[in-house]
Amino acid sequence: MTHEFFNIDIEGYTPLEVTLIQPDDFLKVRETLSRIGVASSKDKVLYQSCHILHKQSRYFIVHFKELFALDGKQADLTDNDIERRNTIAKLLSDWDLVKIIDSELHMNIAPLSQIKILSFKDKDDWSLQSKYNIGKKR
């Protein structure tokens, strides 16, 4: 399915659009997302799963593999990746940081046991890793 806004083809997946609750919440959402992902507890490494993308005055919560696809790179995006993205977006919504535009899009969610959420006070004890850096050349 090609999404006309992104002009990409990721079969069966639709970008998850959100609005910010407060206009200045973008940085707060970005920082919060840096503390949510998949963890290696043994090494105390957290791999960030999702990012907030701001494009043409619209906001999207996107899995890092969706960003690879946007860049035209190979992305093995799975249903579980999208379910984790949806769970993370729902958490942001529950915490009053964002409002999900199309609530039908986030119905399929992953169990919270698949996601590690670090508290702000614990983040310095972990290595926060991002597999994609928005706006930076790798």
For the record, the structure tokens of 1 come out as 């399915």
Going by C-beta distance under 8 Å and a sequence separation of 6 or more, which residues neighbour residue 2?
Answer: 8, 9
Burial (CB count within 10 angstroms: exposed 0-12, middle 13-18, buried 19+), residue 11: exposed
Query: Considering the entire predicted model, what is its pTM?
Result: 0.85
What values do phi and psi take at 93, rounded to 5?
-70, -45
d(CA 43, CA 24): 34
CATH of 13-130, one of 1.20.1250.20, 3.30.1490.20, 3.40.50.80, 3.30.70.650: 3.30.70.650
Sequence spans of domains, the chain:
13-130
What values do phi and psi take at 114, rounded to 5?
-85, -5
Per-residue pLDDT tens digits of the chain, which is 138 residues long: 344 555 544 556 778 999 999 988 999 999 999 999 999 878 999 999 999 999 888 999 999 999 888 887 878 889 999 999 999 999 999 999 999 998 776 678 899 999 999 999 999 999 999 888 776 554
